[in-house]
Amino acid sequence: MKITPGLYRSVTTVALPLASLYLMWRSRRQPAYRDYWDERFAWGTYPLRTERPRVWIHAVSVGETNAARPLLEAMLSAWPECDVLLTHMTPTGREAGKKLVRMAPERIHQCYLPYDAPYAVEKFVRQTRPTIGIIMETEVWPNLMQELKRRQIPVVLANARESEKSRAQAEKVIDVMRPAFNAFSAVLAQSDEDRVRLESLGARDVLVTGSVKFDIRPDPSQVAAAKSWLGGLSRPVALFASTRDGEEAMFAEALKHRRDFMHATHVVIVPRHPERFDAVEALLKEAGFTVCRRSTLSGPQDVPADAEVILGDSMGEMSFYCALASFTVMGGSFAPCGSQNVVEPAMAGSPVVVGPSIFNFDRIVREGVVSGGMVQVENAEAALEVLEGWLAAPAERDEAGRKALEFARGCTGATGRMMAVLEKLWTYARKNESRMS
């Protein structure tokens, strides 16, 4: 059946109660999904617009929220007259956003973006009254975009990426998605490949600016803490970063047959999602490993002598883990998830091993491999073979780490390029508001 914009509006209105069932299902593993239902369904009041012009930034979850930091810092500095509304869709995104709020608590507000039902998005836009909207990466809601366009509010899709899989899914409902993509005032894509896919879906004025994720500076206090830890650790650290469901089992199976490697390193596994910490610990113990949790350790002196795996069960400490790593295996690339941010460990000088699934960072991984700071492999066994090679040849490992850092530094600069576009739209939006008031 062909999905038209009118049918989509009707379905999203009628089907909205199903979202409550989805939230209850998610809350079985993550109780925070039961919070703030008034915001998700537009039952209450959203942060009302004050006399200040308002920047609205939508960051779905943790990755998008962390990516928003460089842009937010730049806007707070360049536009001292503005306040900011930061919205999310997941509890982990909202929790990560609290750190951004602390940058300027008197100017930054937080809430959930409601589900894309016509009455809900109309109320959200009417009460919050953004001067300009910035949606991070991939979140395109047709009813929301229609409402913003009706009110002549310029919206930018920033740090935009579009995988071939996502493009194919959007193509199935192109009559709904094309007007939504066309409603953006500007689209700032991460790569040429993203630009082509976005344009095929109806996006206009697409400019390739790179990824602001590569402008994220490591947290100095976490880097200092990692250096302190390294002084108390006697073995190199093998980091398995931001692992996704199914990957820990792959790595555990590969590690079981490499006891020499286990005894020669500190293996640190950091799952991507906090609701999986307990399940990953149980999986590792069932595989026969002795596990200790980061949350129980105040320093390297607390690591038990018989601990084979340190489970990274803390949120917001990726700068610490990356600075601790002698070498990194990147999660999300061994499950079909497109990889997590490979530049983050590279920026800490850690050489990176990436699996076969890289659609979120395809160009970056290819260029990182050419630079010599990254290695791409087909499976967990091959990843461990690379780590064993680096363990046996410290000079080669250090050289790969130097190349990774050099490559990561060359990826920066997207924030400045995006701000050049946003400055023009901000000036236009302010003048437009003045004419309409």
- Tell me how far CA of residue 49 lies from CA of 44, 105, 431, in angstroms: 15, 15, 17
DSSP state of 276: G
Q: Tell me, what amino acid is at 157?
A: L
Nearest Cα neighbor of 67 from 213, 209, 190 is 213
> Taking Cα atoms as reference points, which of 244, 303, 229 lies closest to residue 275?
244
Nearest to 352 by CA among 220, 191, 239, 262: 239
Spatial distance between the Cα atoms of 245 and 252, rounded to a whole number of angstroms: 13
Angstrom distance (rounded) from CA 271 to CA 281 = 10
Q: How far apart are CA 157 and CA 159, in angstroms?
A: 7
DSSP secondary structure string, 193-210? HHHHHHHHTT--SEEE--
Half-sphere exposure of 175 (CA within 13 A, CB side): 9
What residues are paired with 108 via a beta bridge? 84
Concerning whether 64 is annotated as a catalytic residue, the answer is yes
- Residue 286: HSE in the Cβ half-sphere, 13 Å Cα cutoff: 8
Helix (H) or strand (E) holding 86: strand 83-88
The DSSP result for 118-136, as a single string, is HHHHHHHHHHH--SEEEEE
State the catalytic residue, choosing from 39, 64, 122, 317.
64
Residue of 397, 241, 219 whose CA lies nearest to 310: 241
Residue type, 168: A
- For the residues of 208-268, what is the DSSP string, one character each? E---GGGGPPPPHHHHHHHHHHHTT-SS-EEEEEEE-TTHHHHHHHHHHT-HHHHHHSEEE
Sheet holding 108-112, edge to edge: 108-112, 83-88, 54-58, 132-136, 155-160, 186-189, 206-208
* 272 three-state secondary structure: coil
Q: Give the residue numbers annotated as catalytic, written as ranges.
A: 64
